[in-house]
């Protein structure tokens, strides 16, 4: 009987868990290591005083029939978690306005909303819709982007149809280019709205976001697709994947940090690839051999793990990347009286047009398992600059200022006075400590033209048998994107 190939998965985020579970289900020997206490990475949870807080990600795409999570859970034979559609997907409040821009799931309703909110912009939205249809059909045929082998290229070619070619002229375009093309570049409300939404998905503003990426990401919240609010927190998604992994013989070791990936020299064929593991609780370190290594880390972390075995060109490209996103996050446990009637699960608030400081807010719903009866959770995240958190000499004072500012801004909408039961915060330093992600990065590398699709970082790295999954690869940010990257790597490994 042939020996099973051994796969080590570095990181138990959604991408790593998905890759590990699928590979174990397909007969591979899978061993997974993660620094944190619980699996899920930036989509995990923690508990305080009866409240359950989603660490980072708070909504999911791809649970609908044919969606990426639906496909993966069907293959694994695991039941999808209970969830409800977010409708509206988000309520966006622009500065000085008391009426939100509601992003409705129903396409007709959303069309009426945007026509009312942004008069004269409908040709722009119709253009995005025309780009979305062939782009989504292309993505649904499982192309591999960017291709790094003949087999990869064949998967890409098979996904191309005549309608796909209609999107090719816009490969190098940004949303900013499209706004100028439709004479909307001076529409401050529209551009600001797009900046706020795209920052969540692409990590960069409308001026920089690749147009083809935006056409897809801005349409994911509309029927027949949609964004979902999970019952029982984001952790249920992770738990189902862990259940499948262990059922099929995979092993998961939490509180274990992978410190290095060692690749044998070409002439040294007697030695296997291996990874250096440190037990966070005991401090013990050792080496684990592997036939394949799947890294669910940032591309910056991957270069660090490979050390001098990372090809020079790869290292240089990573070094030249623009800074990725980091976030300050406030976690509030409150009395239900703090929540206005009819409050949607997700909101965005922009402080002012001049400051460009915004909060993305997630609110628990009655009976969703995140808070005791009569209580609720409010999670508010703010994108910030990594450098100021790592260079600041008075970290605690800075953290307190951010927290006070967030609560003050939230207090303009929520009834917080006397209703806060618990409050704590996470900073880029917090995310770095618990996820080991470089500088506490919480998003991908930014879906600019230079890093999106055919120009992005491939799952198949330049180092043979080392694979990259997660938000540094196609198609980018979010649980659906990282799960797709995991499925791509599984297909490539199985192919051999």
Instruction: Encode pLDDT of 34-77 as tens digits.
Output: 999 999 999 999 999 999 999 988 999 999 999 999 999 999 99
Distance CA 72, CA 380 (A): 30
User: 165-169, 209-213, 387-391: lowest mean pLDDT where?
Assistant: 387-391
276 within a domain of the structure (yes/no): yes
Is the domain of 76 the same as that of 206? no
Residue 478 three-state SS: coil
Compute the distance between CA of residue 63 and CA of residue 428 in angstroms, rounded to an integer: 30
Check which CATH number belongs to the domain holding 478 and give it: 3.50.50.60
Is residue 103 one of the residues assigned to a domain?
Answer: no
Tell me, yes or no, whether 393 lies in a domain: yes
Say if 53 falls within a structural domain. Answer: no
3-state helix, strand, coil in the chain (%, to 5): 40, 20, 40
Q: 280-294 burial, b if ≥16 CB within 10 A, otherwise e?
A: eeeeeeeebebbbbb
Q: What is the pLDDT of residue 1?
A: 44
DSSP strand pairing (466-468 vs 292-295):
parallel
Mean pLDDT (whole number) for 159-184: 96
Quick check: is 86 in a domain? Answer: no
pLDDT tens digits for range 395-445 = 999 999 999 999 999 999 999 999 999 999 999 999 999 999 999 998 889
What are the C-alpha distances in Å from 489 to residues 10, 236, 378, 485, 486? 14, 23, 36, 6, 5
Average per-residue pLDDT for the chain: 95
When divided into structural domains, the chain yields a total of 3
Is 318 found in the same domain as 459?
yes
In the predicted model, is pLDDT for residue 2 greater than 70? no
Q: pLDDT by residue (tens digit) across 364-383?
A: 999 999 999 999 999 999 99
pLDDT band (50, 70, 90) for residue 270: low
Q: Residue 262 — very low, low, confident or very high, per pLDDT cuts 50/70/90?
A: very high
Average pLDDT over residues 239-261: 98
Asked whether residue 308 falls in the same domain as residue 246, the answer is yes
- Judgement on whether residues 335 and 427 belong to the same structural domain of the protein: yes
- Please report which confidence band the pLDDT of residue 3 belongs to, taking 50, 70 and 90 as the band edges: confident
Q: In the listed set 412, 435, 458, which residue is the last one of a domain according to the structure?
A: 435
Residue 387: band (very low, low, confident or very high) from pLDDT cuts 50, 70, 90: confident
Its pTM stands at: 0.95
Residue 417, domain extent: 326-435
Residue 138 inside a domain? The answer is yes
Q: Please give the pLDDT value at position 154.
A: 97
Name the DSSP letter for residue 417. T
**Domain termination residue (choose one: 220, 243, 269):** 220
Mean pLDDT of 387-395: 86
348, 93 Cβ separation under 8 angstroms: yes
**Is residue 171's pLDDT more than 70?**
yes
In this structure, the answer to whether residues 371 and 423 fall within a common structural domain is yes
What b-and-e string marks burial along 79-96, b requiring 16 or more CB atoms within 10 Å of the CB? Answer: ebbebebbbbbbbbbbee
Whether 180 and 35 share a structural domain: no
Do 114 and 215 lie in one domain? The reply is yes
If asked whether residues 426 and 380 sit together in one domain, one would say yes
Q: Is residue 102 situated within a structural domain?
A: no
Domain identity same for 164 and 242: no
Whether residues 276 and 183 share a domain: the answer is: no
pLDDT category at 215 given cuts 50, 70, 90 is very high
Give dist(CA 226, CA 86) in Å, integer. 7
Residue 1 lies in a domain: no
451 and 318 share one domain: yes
Domain final residue, candidates 397, 413, 435: 435
Verify that 75 and 13 share a domain, yes or no. Answer: yes
């Amino acid at each position: 009987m042939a020996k099973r190939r051994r796969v080590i998965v570095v990181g138990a985020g959604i991408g790593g868990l998905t890759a590990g579970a699928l590979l174990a289900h397909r007969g591979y020997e899978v061993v997974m290591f993660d620094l944190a206490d619980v699996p899920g990475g930036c989509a995990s949870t923690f508990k305080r005083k009866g409240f359950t807080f989603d660490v980072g990600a708070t909504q999911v795409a791809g649970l609908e029939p044919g969606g990426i999570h639906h496909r993966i859970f069907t293959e694994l034979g695991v039941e999808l978690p209970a969830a409800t559609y977010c409708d509206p997907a988000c309520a966006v409040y622009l500065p000085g306005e008391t009426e939100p821009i509601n992003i409705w799931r129903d396409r007709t309703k959303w069309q009426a909303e945007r026509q009312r909110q942004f008069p004269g912009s409908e040709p722009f939205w119709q253009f995005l819709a025309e780009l979305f249809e062939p782009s989504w059909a292309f993505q649904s045929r499982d192309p591999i982007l960017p291709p790094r082998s003949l087999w990869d290229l064949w998967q890409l070619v098979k996904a191309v149809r005549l309608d796909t070619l209609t999107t090719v002229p816009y490969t190098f375009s940004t949303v900013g280019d499209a706004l100028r093309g439709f004479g909307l570049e001076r529409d401050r409300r529209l551009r600001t709205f797009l900046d706020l939404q795209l920052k969540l998905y692409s990590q960069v503003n409308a001026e920089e976001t690749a147009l083809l990426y935006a056409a897809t990401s801005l349409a994911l919240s509309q029927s027949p697709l949609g964004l979902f609010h999970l019952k029982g927190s984001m952790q249920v998604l992770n738990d189902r994947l862990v259940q499948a992994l262990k059922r099929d013989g995979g092993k998961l070791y939490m509180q274990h940090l992978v410190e290095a990936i060692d690749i044998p020299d070409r002439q040294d064929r007697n030695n296997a690839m291996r990874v250096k593991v440190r037990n966070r609780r005991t401090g013990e370190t050792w080496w684990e051999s592997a036939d394949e290594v799947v890294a669910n880390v940032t591309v910056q972390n991957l270069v660090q793990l490979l050390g001098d075995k990372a090809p020079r060109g790869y290292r240089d490209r990573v070094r030249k990347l623009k800074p990725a996103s980091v976030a300050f996050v406030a976690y509030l446990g409150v009395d239900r009286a703090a929540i206005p009637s009819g409050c949607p699960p997700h909101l965005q608030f922009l402080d002012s047009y001049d400051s460009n400081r915004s909060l993305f807010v997630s609110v628990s719903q009655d009976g969703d398992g995140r808070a005791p009866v009569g209580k609720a959770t409010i999670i508010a995240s703010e994108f910030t600059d990594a450098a100021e958190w790592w260079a600041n000499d008075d970290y605690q004072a800075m953290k307190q200022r951010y927290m006070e500012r967030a609560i003050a801004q939230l207090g303009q909408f929520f009834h917080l006075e006397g209703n806060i039961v618990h409050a704590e915060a996470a900073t880029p330093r917090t995310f770095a400590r618990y996820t080991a992600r470089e500088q506490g990065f919480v998003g991908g590398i930014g879906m600019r033209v230079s890093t999106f699709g055919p120009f992005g970082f491939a799952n198949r790295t330049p180092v043979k048998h080392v694979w990259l999954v997660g938000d540094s690869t196609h198609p980018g940010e979010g649980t659906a994107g990282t799960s797709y990257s995991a499925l791509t790597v599984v297909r490539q490994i199985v192919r051999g």
